[in-house]
Structure 1
Amino acid sequence: MSGRVEIDDKKLRELEGVFHNLEELGEMIKNFKSPYTSELLEIILAGGMALGASDIHLEPTGEASALRLRVDGLLHNVSNEIEKQKHLSLITRIKLLSNLKLNIHDRPQDGRFTIDLADRDIEIRTSLIPSEYGETAVLRLLDPRSLKVNLEDLGWRKDDLKIVMGEIEKPNGLILNTGPTGSGKTTTLYAFLRKITTPEVKIITIEDPIEYHLPGVSQTQVDSAVGYTFASGLRSILRQDPDIILVGEIRDKETSEIALNASLTGHLVFSTLHTNDAVGAIPRFMDLGAKPQVLGPALTLVIAQRLVRVLCPKCKVEKEIGEALKTKIEKFLEGLPERIDKKDCQNFKIYSPGGCDKCGGLGFKGRTSIFELFVINEKMEEAIYKNPTEIELKSLAKEQEMVTMQEDGILKVLKGITSVEEVERTTGKVEWLDK
């Protein structure tokens, strides 16, 4: 059993009201004098929630310890002055709440605990590993309020959303979401399930771990200690008469074979792969032993995505656009597929981050997704049969009017949603801007 932390709503509101930026949280921790470690942990947790952190990092550095928060995908320093004894006490408190062994300091441990609030429960996933100066802890905050499970809220363009809706409403096929850890894949897959969940269909998932609980969905979790892996779990799920299956990740040949066969036998299957872009899913499947004659008919859509920070609407600063840059942007827009609605970009502007009280001085508030859709139509299926190179597939995908993540990102820049620097941070240099 994992532990529970009860934070009184009034107390939480008071704490959240204090923290408008990272510096204020750092000051409160620096001036903390109470002997009760539980109170210090409550302050750290409340600060993390108030500032919209996804992860809290406690890192011993020698005589002191550092506290960092991951906000909108980037780590920010809060304090480098947490005393060594306070750090040890915090680690002990976290272990107690997470039902971890107190006497183990030289091996990794994972657990979880819950914050009880009046209107919701917040799951905290804990990870501890030994380091040079002691145990490092990372707490992941899984707040149900932060999960955007409405498909329309994720940042799709209208043309991409139309394609996605057409694919997820099909009775069978394999839909893949690709990208690195923390790119929003799970949120997107959950949004798909939320959209298509009805009493008439049975949906089963196998995840590692279950991050959020979805009503109307049977969710299961990998447990390697008892042999419940993605492959064995998927095989068992197929005996449960499902209509729709979500497999957290395709990691090996066995799982890929079962997932592909499931999609060919009347099931709609969702899963993820770790590839740099959407087209890269094809050679990755081939590396896992997939046969082209199976992969082509089974796979219907591959989505690659990244998360970019959203400019704070209160303080974003308009940048001057010279004639040379304006010409480049107009040429970029002309080269995009006709299905894209370019009305919002006709009077384009480019902004950079400012910094104000609303965004805690960061210049950004929240994140949105940039997407890349690789549709497996008949022409693409025929190409897969011939075992093409990745370069050949990318060329054909562009012929089929695929819009890349970077292009989607630039469109969001021109709409004032994000900055050029954010797009380049997540997708690489935008070469044509510097030519």
Structure 2
Amino acid sequence: MAAPMEAARRDELKAEKWDLIPFAEAGRRLNEAVENEISTTDLVAIIFSAATSLRASDVHLESGKNDALLRLRLDGLLYDVARLPRGVYDDVLGRIKLIAGLKLNVVDVPQDGRFTIIRDGDEIEVRASTVPSEYGETAVLRLLDPKAVALDLEDLGLRADDLDIADKELKKPNGMVLVAGPTGSGKTTTLYAFLKKVHTSELKTITIEDPIEYHLSGIEQTQVDPKAGYDFASGLRSILRQDPDIILVGEIRDLETAEVAMHAALTGHVVFSTLHTNDAAGAVPRLVDLGTKPAIIGPAINLIVAQRLVRRLCEYCKTETPMSPGLAENIKKLMTKLPKRVDKTNVKPKIYSARGCDKCHNGYRGRVGVFELLEVDDALENLIAEEVTEETIREFARKQGMIEMQTDGILKVFSGVTTLDEVERVTGPLKWPR
């Protein structure tokens, strides 16, 4: 049993740094703590010791009729860890609300707060959210661990040829780089990695985010505050009066933000932002749908990156899997269709499966990005100005040699990084060349 945690400030929580443990062991420790009726403070600390040791991104506390379910989101998927008796759950939730600065007597409206976990000298920020449900309040705690985020461009998972493209586009003195994908696809991490790559002490870099997820040294970070009238559009206008060289806008959601950001990109600034679209080609019609004039989209944008996150195979237990004749034929066709910029000498068509061991629980450990990079050159700029369809842009990009996300994922399968099942899960049914 873990030793009791030492006292912390009201907005802080002390957690232990456990050695690498199996998922089942974390559940056993939590259930043992509940059975031994340890103090609420210590139980909450053990919950977060388990969460941080397993590298969970979120802790879910879900209220039920007779008890509550504790779940952890690991590598993008939720797993049940323990059930908490009703009385224990109420005490745990009360403790979390207290350190997160939430009102203890308010249970019928949503609340948001934050606190900090101190673990082995490191600080992990936690965003707390509660909502009323049928059987009482339910809480989700988002863990923001700076050490869990790869902020170096080389660590994102880009292939060598895509890394060269990104590096080339990031060296341009002005223009916009957009990162596209759904919520939870790793867009913020990629933006921060890009920002870290281009920022120097001789340049002024300012961000406007919703919210600030990770604190970046040497960079001025601001956060939207809708109640004060400080949204992305108004914040961006204010930032432009601060003599910035590099600007990060957390998300383009409306026409005003899009127009101000593109004007900044066209007038000597480097601008980074995100869009909620399924792929790189879809970013252009999304901007047009917002009301942006196609004639300025092409000149403003240098690069569009679309991405998803796949689970990374556990290095301790991954297993090479024989290929069926049909799969082998599909892979052969794929290899012949790859553009010249892909170094085929390092591509060895093998596939692997997830087995599971004490170190990983389910055959996977960590996540890595799958990407597609769309460079906006003069030819594509002219095409965009003609207000062509998304499919026309996509087909043009393919002919120019763009590697689509699914293909990038399959190439990562060959490298033993992930599985075909994972690639299909995040990119849709596998589409092989005909």
Counterpart residue number, 1:75: 78
Deviations 1:339-384 (A, max 9, x none): 0111222x3211000111121x210111111001111110000001
Counterpart residue number, 1:350: 351
Counterpart residue number, 1:398: 398
Identity in percent? 53
Counterpart residue number, 1:232: 234
Counterpart residue number, 2:307: 305
TM-superposed CA distance for 1:274, in Å, is 0.3
TM-superposed CA distance for 1:35, in Å, is 4.7
Distance in 2 separating the partners of 1:400 and 1:98: 51
Contact 2:14/2:45 (<8 A) preserved: no
Deviations 1:162-192 (A, max 9, x none): 1101111111111100111111111111111
Count of residues paired in the alignment: 424
Structure 1 segment 46-195 matched on structure 2, within 5 A: 46-79=49-82, 81-195=83-197
Residues 118 and 357 of structure 1, relative CA distance in 2, 3 Å threshold: closer
Deviations 1:127-172 (A, max 9, x none): 1111111111111111111011111011011110111011111111
Structure 1 segment 317-336 matched on structure 2, within 5 A: 317-336=319-338
The two structures have a TM-score, normalised by structure 1, of 0.95
Contact 2:406/2:423 (<8 A) preserved: yes
RMSD over equivalenced CA pairs, Å: 1.5
TM-superposed CA distance for 1:390, in Å, is 1.0
Distance in 2 separating the partners of 1:375 and 1:241: 28
Counterpart residue number, 2:270: 268
Distance in 2 separating the partners of 1:377 and 1:108: 47
The two structures have a TM-score, normalised by structure 2, of 0.95
Contact 1:144/1:212 (<8 A) preserved: yes
TM-superposed CA distance for 1:119, in Å, is 3.0
Distance in 1 separating the partners of 2:326 and 2:65: 52
Distance in 2 separating the partners of 1:112 and 1:193: 25
Counterpart residue number, 2:14: 6
User: What secondary structure is seen at the aligned counterpart in 2 of 1:140?
Assistant: strand
Moved more, 81-90 or 400-409: 81-90
Q: Point out where structure 2 has 5 or more consecutive residues left out of the alignment.
A: 1-8
Q: Point out where structure 1 has 5 or more consecutive residues left out of the alignment.
A: none
Deviations 1:36-83 (A, max 9, x none): 21111111100001111011100011110001101111111112x201
Alignment partner of 1:369 is 2:372 = no
Equivalent residue letter for 1:402: M
Equivalent residue letter for 1:224: P
Alignment partner of 1:418 is 2:426 = no
Structure 1 segment 374-389 matched on structure 2, within 5 A: 374-389=374-389
User: What secondary structure is seen at the aligned counterpart in 2 of 1:245?
Assistant: strand
TM-superposed CA distance for 1:90, in Å, is 1.4
Residues 2 and 219 of structure 1, relative CA distance in 2, 3 Å threshold: farther
Distance in 2 separating the partners of 1:108 and 1:262: 37
Contact 2:158/2:369 (<8 A) preserved: yes
User: What secondary structure is seen at the aligned counterpart in 1 of 2:57?
Assistant: strand
Distance in 1 separating the partners of 2:255 and 2:101: 35
Deviations 1:385-419 (A, max 9, x none): 11001111111111111110000000001111100
Contact 1:2/1:112 (<8 A) preserved: no
User: What secondary structure is seen at the aligned counterpart in 2 of 1:240?
Assistant: coil
Contact 2:281/2:391 (<8 A) preserved: no
Distance in 2 separating the partners of 1:432 and 1:218: 45
Contact 2:22/2:359 (<8 A) preserved: no
Distance in 1 separating the partners of 2:122 and 2:197: 22
User: What secondary structure is seen at the aligned counterpart in 2 of 1:432?
Assistant: coil
TM-superposed CA distance for 1:2, in Å, is 7.1
Deviations 1:97-143 (A, max 9, x none): 11111111111111110112343211111111111111111111111
User: What secondary structure is seen at the aligned counterpart in 2 of 1:124?
Assistant: strand
Moved more, 272-281 or 113-122: 113-122
Distance in 2 separating the partners of 1:300 and 1:2: 46
Contact 1:185/1:272 (<8 A) preserved: yes
Distance in 1 separating the partners of 2:200 and 2:222: 19
Contact 1:2/1:111 (<8 A) preserved: no
Distance in 2 separating the partners of 1:384 and 1:432: 28
Counterpart residue number, 1:251: 253
Distance in 2 separating the partners of 1:169 and 1:38: 50
Equivalent residue letter for 2:12: R
Residues 118 and 317 of structure 1, relative CA distance in 2, 3 Å threshold: closer
TM-superposed CA distance for 1:216, in Å, is 1.1
Alignment partner of 1:207 is 2:215 = no
Distance in 2 separating the partners of 1:266 and 1:410: 38
Contact 2:182/2:276 (<8 A) preserved: yes
TM-superposed CA distance for 1:257, in Å, is 0.8
Alignment partner of 1:37 is 2:37 = no
Deviations 1:224-278 (A, max 9, x none): 1111111111000000000000000011111111111110111100000000111
TM-superposed CA distance for 1:24, in Å, is 2.1
TM-superposed CA distance for 1:292, in Å, is 1.1
Deviations 1:205-229 (A, max 9, x none): 0001111111110000111111111
Contact 1:309/1:366 (<8 A) preserved: yes
Alignment partner of 1:28 is 2:36 = no
Contact 1:248/1:272 (<8 A) preserved: yes
TM-superposed CA distance for 1:92, in Å, is 1.0
